[in-house]
Every structure is written in structure tokens, then in C-alpha cells.
């Protein structure tokens, strides 16, 4: 498992870094593809009409009910709209919510309508709304420094928590949600995330002043760990360990994005409200 994680990182990190630096349409297309796959994973894992044995498998991602496929398509629409700016993005969110209602009205099943609306909009908001902030965040500078800080700061938090938790973890903080989550690992993640944000602020060339970067350094690892626990809560409720097997050693795309779905919006709003 560890060897697969390392191999995936060695291949994936340079590709991701290149796309962040390149920006523009290639970056937005990559974000759209990843988020659509993550949305399909979410819907396959949480479909109330599928048993746990049927959920989350690779071959099941495209074999889903219309509500799920519409939700995944709406996620792609949100990313495309975000590429054109915040006004388009908010308009696309309204349209996606409208289309979800329309599809269920045309289906006409009053017994499952509320359940499927909550399911469909849940995936849209969780994966699409939160995830599309990655595109908005890329538009805040010319070279992708803020995206680098958010993404790699999050991964540093996860990595520190993972390795310290495995080596030294004794006190379990949320055994019902995530049995492997320990106090020692969480504290290491907070420290590693804080240090990584300060380092990335310097190495990327952002060089934001201490008064502005320290709040991000403090809050980003907290958001990352909450995001990790949030997805664990959903997976426990769905009865699955991983959302798919698309990312060797890591599970699915949603399993790798869970923390970033929380940290990308956090960094975006802290930057536009405090720094810019």
C-alpha cells in the first residue's frame, strides 16, 4: 500500500504541478474531469437504492441512475462556469439546482423525490460547489501560487498526520468515524500543515506578510482534518472503505480530494477578504 502511494505521488505530483502552473483551459479541464469522477464516486458510494456490495466499484461508476448522472454533469457545468468567473459560477449553481428539481418532477415519484433531491444536491454541493473553488482560486494570481499553497499545504497536513499517526498514534479521537485517526497524528498534521504553509508562502514567491499568512497557516490544517473526517463520516454511513480504486494506493479521487474540498474554499475566501 505504501509503495503504491509513493509511486502514485511520484507520477501525479509533477503532473498536477505542471497543470497548476499552466493554468487556463487545460487546468480547468483537468479539474472538471477529476471532480466529475469524484462526483460519480460519491453517487455510486451513497446511492440509497444500492447495497453496500454494489457501491463504489470501478465498473459501477457509469452504471448509475439518472439523478446521479445529472449530478455529475452539473458538477462539470459548475467548473466550466467558474472558469468564466464568479458571476457565471453562481448562475450555473442556480441552474443546476433547478435542473435537479425538474428531473425529479418529471420522474414523478413522490415517495423517493425528497430523498433523491437531498442525495443529488448533496453531491452537487459537496463535490461541485466546494471543488470548483479550485478554479476560482487559480484566477487570483498569474502563476498558481495560491493553488499550490492550498493543495500542497493540505497534502503536507495529511502526510504528517498519516505517518506520525501510524508510528506513534495511541489516543483515538473519532473511533466511530475514522478508527485510524489519532490525537498524535492530528497534532502532527496541524504542526506540519502550519509549517508547510509558511514554507510554501516563501518558496512560491507569494511572500505574504506574517499578519496575513499566519491565519491561513493556522486554519488550513484544521480545515483539512475536518474535511478528512467529513468524508470518513459519509463513507461509514455508506458502508464503504474507499469510494473507488481509481487512484492506486489511495482509493478514489474523492478520497484524495476530501481535505482539499474544504481547504480550497477556505484559502480563496481568506485571500479575497483579507489579503487582496
Q: What pLDDT, on the 0 to 100 scale, is given for residue 59? A: 67
Determine the Cα–Cα distance for residues 87 and 75; give it in Å rounded to an integer.
Answer: 16
Supply the pLDDT for residue 51: 73
Separation between Cα atoms, residue 221 and residue 217, nearest integer Å:
7
Distance CA 181, CA 165 (A): 7
**Which pTM value belongs to this model?**
0.94
pLDDT in the model for residue 73: 97
Q: What is the DSSP string of 216-264?
A: HHHHHHHHHHHHHHHHHHHHHHHT-S-S-SSBTTTBSHHHHHTTHHHHH
The helix (H) or strand (E) run that includes residue 72 is: helix 66-83
- Cβ atoms of 171 and 183 within 8 Å: the answer is yes
* Residues in the chain where the model's pLDDT stays below 70: 1-2, 52-59
Q: What pLDDT sits at residue 50?
A: 82
pLDDT of res. 8: 82
Joined together, the cell numbers standing for residue 218 give 493556522
Check residue 156 and give its pLDDT: 97
Amino acid at each position: 500500500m505504501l509503495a503504491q502511494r509513493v509511486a502514485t505521488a511520484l507520477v501525479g505530483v509533477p503532473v498536477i504541478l505542471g497543470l497548476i502552473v499552466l493554468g487556463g483551459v487545460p487546468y480547468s479541464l483537468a479539474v472538471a474531469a477529476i471532480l466529475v469522477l469524484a462526483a460519480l464516486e460519491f453517487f455510486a458510494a451513497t446511492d440509497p437504492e444500492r447495497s453496500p456490495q454494489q457501491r463504489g466499484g470501478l465498473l459501477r461508476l457509469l452504471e448509475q441512475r439518472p439523478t446521479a448522472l445529472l449530478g455529475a454533469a452539473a458538477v462539470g457545468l459548475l467548473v466550466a462556469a467558474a472558469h468564466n468567473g464568479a458571476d457565471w459560477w453562481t448562475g450555473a449553481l442556480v441552474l443546476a439546482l433547478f435542473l435537479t428539481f425538474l428531473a425529479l418532477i418529471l420522474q414523478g415519484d413522490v415517495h423517493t423525490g425528497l430523498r433523491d433531491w437531498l442525495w443529488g444536491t448533496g453531491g452537487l454541493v459537496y463535490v461541485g460547489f466546494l471543488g470548483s473553488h479550485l478554479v476560482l482560486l487559480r484566477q487570483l494570481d498569474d502563476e498558481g501560487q495560491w493553488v499550490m499553497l492550498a493543495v500542497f499545504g493540505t497534502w503536507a497536513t495529511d502526510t504528517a498526520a498519516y505517518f506520525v499517526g501510524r508510528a506513534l498514534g495511541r489516543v483515538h479521537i473519532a473511533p466511530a468515524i475514522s478508527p485510524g485517526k489519532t490525537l498524535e497524528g492530528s497534532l502532527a498534521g496541524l504542526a506540519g500543515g502550519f509549517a508547510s504553509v509558511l514554507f510554501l508562502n516563501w518558496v512560491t514567491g507569494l511572500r505574504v506578510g506574517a499578519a496575513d499568512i499566519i491565519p491561513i497557516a493556522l486554519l488550513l490544517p484544521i480545515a483539512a482534518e475536518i474535511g478528512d473526517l467529513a468524508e470518513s463520516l459519509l463513507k461509514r454511513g455508506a458502508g464503504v472503505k474507499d469510494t473507488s480504486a481509481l487512484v492506486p494506493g489511495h482509493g478514489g479521487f474523492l478520497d484524495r480530494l476530501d481535505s482539499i474540498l474544504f481547504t480550497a474554499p477556505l484559502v480563496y475566501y481568506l485571500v479575497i477578504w483579507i489579503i487582496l
